[in-house]
């Protein structure tokens, strides 16, 4: 989650067309192990700004796409305890063992939104900037997935095959003060494939 949060902080200082999509998946192939995959896809403008300091865009696998955008894929595998010890994947994440071999998994959504706010300026220019930023964010999102053999319950959307819970946050909603997100995205999952 930390990588997603660092990208979120950039979106309010970048040119209006500079956006990205982020998708994080935490899968539980068995009761003891987890696989975390984070994919960030940056528009060409966002990529140029993110790399302008000379720092690499990606600590994982960086791929240039046909449309000029770039994707970064990072994968973390290991035991649940090792997974929770990795600050890049575990920030804002809670995993609890439940009866029957089930796992309760929760992402703290305030971690996504607490440090994200448009510039605190007043006046017509600030409102026009907010509207232009909101328009440029349309179609971009942060998606979080929790996967296993079966999703028992969730406050997200369950896939047709019942193995994945998903929660999407459209980026434009981060600028909308009327948008209310739940405190957490959570799922009770039966581990396995």
Read off the pLDDT of residues 110-147 as tens digits, 9 standing for 90 and up. Answer: 866 654 555 555 556 767 777 777 777 778 888 999 99
pLDDT score, position 19:
76
> Which residues, 6+ apart, have CB-to-CB distance to 188 below 8 Å?
98, 102, 103, 104, 105, 151, 152, 153, 154
This prediction has a pTM of: 0.80
pLDDT score, position 120:
57
Percent of the chain's residues with pLDDT above 90: 40
CA distance 66 to 104: 39
Task: Please write the tens of the pLDDT for every residue from 8-23.
Answer: 444 444 444 457 888 9
What are phi and psi for residue 129, nearest 5 degrees? -60, -45
- What end-to-end distance do the CA atoms of the chain give, in Å? 24
């Amino acid at each position: 989650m930390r990588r997603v949060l660092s990208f979120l902080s950039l979106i309010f200082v970048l040119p209006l067309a500079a956006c990205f999509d982020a998708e994080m998946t935490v899968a539980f192939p068995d009761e003891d192990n987890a696989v975390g995959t984070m994919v960030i896809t940056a528009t060409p403008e966002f990529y140029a700004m993110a790399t302008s300091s000379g720092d690499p865009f990606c600590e994982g696998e960086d791929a240039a796409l046909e449309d000029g955008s770039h994707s970064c894929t990072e994968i973390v595998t290991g035991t649940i305890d090792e997974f929770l010890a990795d600050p890049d994947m575990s920030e804002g994440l809670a995993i609890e063992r439940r009866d029957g071999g089930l796992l309760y998994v929760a992402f703290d959504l305030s971690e996504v939104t607490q440090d994200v706010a448009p510039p605190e300026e007043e006046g017509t220019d600030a409102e026009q900037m907010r509207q232009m930023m909101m328009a440029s964010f349309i179609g971009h999102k942060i998606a979080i997935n929790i996967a296993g053999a079966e999703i028992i319950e969730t406050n997200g959307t369950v896939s047709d095959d019942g193995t994945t819970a998903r929660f999407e946050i459209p980026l434009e909603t981060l600028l909308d003060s009327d948008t209310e997100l739940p405190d957490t995205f959570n799922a009770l999952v039966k581990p396995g494939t």
